[in-house]
Amino acid sequence: MNEKEKYYCSKCGKTMDENSFFTYKDGTKTELCKKCLTMHIDNFDESTYLWLLEKMDVPYVPEEWNTLRDRIYEKDPTKLTSQSVFGRYLSKMKLKQWRAYGWADTEKLQQEYQEKAEMHAKEVAEREAEAKERYENGEISEAEYKTLIQTETKHRETPIQAVPQSPYAIGQTPITPGSIPMNEQMYMSEDDMIDTAADLTEDDKIYLAMKWGRLYKPTEWVALEKTYTEMTESFDIQDADTINTLILICKTNLKMNQSLDIGDVDGFQKLSKVSDSLRKSAKLTAAQNKEDKNDFVDSVGELVAMCEREGFIPRYATDIPQDKVDLTLKDMNDYLHKLVTQDLGFGQQIEDALKKIQIQKEMNEAEAAANDGEAPLLEDEDYAAFLEEMEAQKDADLDITIEEQDGEA
């Protein structure tokens, strides 16, 4: 598969692959990446995204936008981000039902829905008023009330607060504890917290700044040093490469905890993957530590006790003379020769595997070509939305067919 083309975002200044940008109808890419272009969208305020729909030359059909928005909101309100609806809406406008329309058709399409929407709004208002009265009178439970009202009403009554981004994302201003609104009755105020760096001398601060970097606060230096000390006591770390990796692990662990504390779950998950990769590459995991302790002894006394207890230890015993490496290589060559020449099905297995790889490669290329060179990751909601659109299109085609038959009659 061909390497994806790179594009430059004029806002964040990053160069990313084509999947990070929206595509205009003429096939060109947007000047800003998806994240920058949609960063100020409020999915419940059409004034924040109408200009984008006009820019992408797609019609605005409120019913379709609200359906996509409500589906995400009902499943998990915290997943309703600035990007979650806009991208799905653009994909929906590429379907057969809407692809012939542009932004100029917005008014015409909305007029077709207006009468229907007014009747529906009246029915919804009456139903919600009745449900609210019954809920306030204690006739129905809160769960039943929330089920009966519309998603927009639910959002208006109990809006979901936006989750702050990680304070350590590139290009963002770090979020300090004092900048996050807190209920003083629920959380300890910053003034009441114990200063863990109060006892640091000037020499200590110079040493910690040289070791961890000057961009950390003294309290963060203390937390980093604590993690570093605990790791060195748990693992046998000698070489400089492992020490450097351990420093990265400590920094990642600190930022993982900070991301989790401010509710940045996505940032925490990304940092967690980085931490796991670093720990595995340096073999600084609990499983590795346990295996090392079980397989080796670190004193002569333990070695003598093992010999007295178990006698001859055949773990590394072999019949091949240790000073004749050629015999070992000869045995390996003989085994490989027998495997290829005497196992009649081995060649066929290789050929079948190569064919499967070629077929999979062709399928991937065909799928990428069908998506204008893009291969987006699909979620369960995308499949459900596609099936719903197919059913709606069937009903629309059936209505058109019946009207044509009536006209001919």
Q: For residue 35, how many other CB atoms are within 10 A of its CB?
A: 16
Q: For residue 79, how many other CB atoms are within 10 A of its CB?
A: 11
Residues forming a β-bridge with 7: 16
Q: How many CA atoms lie within 13 A of 284 on its CB side?
A: 28
Q: Running DSSP on this structure, what letter comes out for residue 20?
A: G
Please tell me the distance from the alpha carbon of residue 181 to that of residue 159, in angstroms, as a whole number. 16
Domain boundaries, the chain: 38-121, 191-295, 325-408
Q: Are 117 and 63 spatial neighbours (Cβ–Cβ below 8 Å)?
A: yes
Question: Residue 186: what pLDDT?
Answer: 47
Structure tokens at 79: 């997943």
What is the secondary structure of 152-193 as a DSSP string? HHHHHHSPPPPPPPPTTSTTSPPPPGGGS---TTTS--GGGS
Please tell me the distance from the alpha carbon of residue 213 to that of residue 210, in angstroms, as a whole number. 6
b/e per residue 238-277 (b: at least 16 CB within 10 A): eeeebeebbbebbbbbbbbebbbebbbeebbeebeeebee
Residues forming a β-bridge with 17: 6
Please tell me the distance from the alpha carbon of residue 74 to that of residue 218, in angstroms, as a whole number. 43
Please tell me the distance from the alpha carbon of residue 395 to that of residue 403, in angstroms, as a whole number. 12
Q: Per residue of the chain (409 residues), what is the pLDDT tens digit?
A: 456 788 999 888 889 888 889 999 888 999 999 999 999 999 889 899 999 999 999 999 888 888 888 888 888 888 788 888 898 888 888 888 888 888 888 888 877 777 666 777 777 788 888 888 888 888 888 888 778 776 767 666 665 444 444 444 434 444 444 444 444 444 555 555 667 777 788 888 888 888 888 888 888 888 899 898 888 888 888 888 888 888 999 999 999 888 888 888 888 888 888 888 888 888 888 766 665 555 566 677 777 777 777 766 566 566 655 657 777 788 888 888 877 777 666 667 777 788 888 888 888 777 777 666 555 566 777 778 778 877 877 777 677 667 666 665 5
Question: Residue 179: what pLDDT?
Answer: 46
H/E stretch holding 7 reads strand 6-8
Task: Determine whether 164 is exposed, middle or buried from the number of CB atoms within 10 Å of its CB (0-12, 13-18, 19+).
Answer: middle
Cα distances (angstroms) measured from residue 318 to each of 55, 310, 323: 74, 18, 12
Q: Are 29 and 23 spatial neighbours (Cβ–Cβ below 8 Å)?
A: yes
Helix (H, G, I), strand (E, B) or coil at 109: helix
Helix (H, G, I), strand (E, B) or coil at 6: strand
Question: Residue 170: what pLDDT?
Answer: 39
Please tell me the distance from the alpha carbon of residue 205 to that of residue 218, in angstroms, as a whole number. 7
Q: How many CA atoms lie within 13 A of 320 on its CB side?
A: 12
Residues 6+ apart with CB under 8 A from 315: none
Among 114, 112, 108, 106, CA closest to 89: 106
Tally the residues of the chain.
409
Task: Give φ, ψ of 23 to 5 degrees.
Answer: -115, 125
Q: Are 192 and 199 spatial neighbours (Cβ–Cβ below 8 Å)?
A: no
Please tell me the distance from the alpha carbon of residue 220 to that of residue 225, in angstroms, as a whole number. 9
Please tell me the distance from the alpha carbon of residue 74 to that of residue 96, in angstroms, as a whole number. 27
Round to the nearest angstrom and report the end-to-end CA distance of the chain.
54
Please tell me the distance from the alpha carbon of residue 151 to that of residue 148, in angstroms, as a whole number. 9
Task: Determine whether 140 is exposed, middle or buried from the number of CB atoms within 10 Å of its CB (0-12, 13-18, 19+).
Answer: middle
